[in-house]
Amino acid sequence: MSIDELDGRLLITMRAHPRIGLTELARLLGVARGTVQARVEKLTARGVIADFGPTVTPEGAGYPILAFVSLQIAQGRLNEAVRALESVPEILEVYGTSGQADLLCRVVARGTPELQEIIARILASPAVQRTDTTIALSIQVPYRIEPLLRAASG
Amino acid sequence: MSIDELDGRLLITMRAHPRIGLTELARLLGVARGTVQARVEKLTARGVIADFGPTVTPEGAGYPILAFVSLQIAQGRLNEAVRALESVPEILEVYGTSGQADLLCRVVARGTPELQEIIARILASPAVQRTDTTIALSIQVPYRIEPLLRAASG
DNA sequence: GGAAGGACTGGTCGAATCGACCAATCCGGT
DNA sequence: ACCGGATTGGTCGATTCGACCAGTCCTTCC
């Protein structure tokens, strides 16, 4: 269920050099190319590597506003609420949560007026009782996974 | 600052077929290969495509617990707090926020006991006054970017 | 109206990589 | 001691990349 030291170095190196070939990757890691090939296949099969696709940033695509919206849902209407949220493309991910709120949504928008529209659209669902919006004013630590990989494998 | 229809189809196709070559990609999109090549270069230069590296899932790497921790920071000690958070590998991203809290952290852990340790480590910084932890109990909508790309370009 | 610049097209070229094989070796667990 | 999985080091053909090139189309500017 976890990753070993070679897996960690492999993932870190692949992320640092995205276009690297298996041949040079094996050279950097100090192992045979077949080994690298087998490891990558396993990591992909186990779901450690979700995909190799390009990482698209919403900011770059014209959505500079980021907000976290927590929702309180009417009893027994969770699925109905989730279906409504799924239909909003600006909602990037939704988690069921512990605590005061029931759902937590990561939302992006082209601007603050559009953010207001999106929140209004969320509230339009009768399953949603209350919303609480937190706007991300600044990025203090950009998303990173390398330190975790080092900690998990080193 | 935005993306056009061809950019949108390009990104969606690249994410759907990560290992696709420029040749077949151009064929699928119905444009010349040189065009695809130029578009990809521009999207990368503009930051729309952050990287081509593999997407590593914390769950797969042995960190099944996901939580959002909001922090209240002592006046004028924001940078000090951020430095402390940076040193914790399980903290994947941190945003400065509006509202009651000052910072919002995305945290992963191997288990709930370790999560408690991480929160304790966060509170160990004198710049951090109060924490409020929300655990993600379920994934209602997994992270997605394709609907946004369709909306942005279509 | 005409000129200029950029984007797109369709083609070719050599270098490099991939993915698949193979037999031999190493290591841990039974 | 034995067995099986993992790793190694090597080769093979097919595919792709990245760089060229000249020509056409469209938009913008003079």
- Reading the block at residue A20, the tokens are 């690297």
For the whole model, what pTM was predicted? Answer: 0.93
| C-beta of residue B71 within 8 angstroms of C-beta of residue B101 | yes
Say yes or no: A122 contacts chain B, CB-CB below 8 A: no
Contact criterion met (CB < 8 Å) for A95 and B140: yes
Cα gap B117→B119, rounded to integer Å? 5
Spatial distance between the Cα atoms of B146 and A2, rounded to a whole number of angstroms: 29
Evaluate whether A105 touches B143 at the Cβ level (below 8 Å): no
**DSSP-derived 3-state class of residue A153:** helix
For A73, A98, A113, the CA distances from A38, given in Å and listed in that order, are 46, 39, 50
d(CA A56, CA B48): 6
The closest CB to that of A149, out of B43, B61, B85, belongs to B61
Interval B93-142: pLDDT, tens: 999 999 999 999 999 999 999 999 999 999 999 999 999 999 999 999 99
CB contact at 8 A, A75 and A120? no
What is the structure's pLDDT at A53? 86
- CB–CB contact B152 A85 (8 Å): no
Q: CB of A98 within 8 A of CB of B134? A: yes
- Contact status, residue B50 vs residue A55, Cβ threshold 8 Å: yes
**Which A residues, 37 through 66, put their C-beta within 8 Å of a C-beta on chain B?**
43, 46-63, 66
Residue B53, pLDDT score: 86
B74-86 pLDDT, tens digit each: 999 999 999 999 9
Q: What is the pLDDT of residue A1?
A: 62
The C-alpha of A40 sits at a distance from chain B's nearest C-alpha, in angstroms, of: 10
What three-state secondary structure class fits B142? coil
Sign of the Cα pseudo-torsion (A53, B141, A93, A85, in order): positive
Residue A153 has pLDDT above 90, yes or no: no
Test A95 with B137 for CB contact under 8 angstroms.
Answer: yes
Residue A23 sits at the chain B interface (C-beta within 8 Å): no
| Chain C positions with any atom < 7 A from a protein CB | 7-11, 16-22
Q: How high does pLDDT run on average in chain B?
A: 94
CA-to-CA distance for B26 and B46, rounded, in angstroms? 21
B151/A51 Cβ within 8 A: no
Find residue B97's DSSP bridge partners: A136
From A141's Cα to the closest Cα of chain B, the distance in A is: 5
Q: How far is A152 from chain B (nearest CA, A)?
A: 7
Helical H runs in A30-104?
Answer: 33-46, 78-86
Mean pLDDT of A119-132: 97
DSSP B103: E
Which tens digit of pLDDT belongs to each residue from A28-76? Answer: 999 999 999 999 999 998 999 998 889 999 998 999 999 999 999 999 9
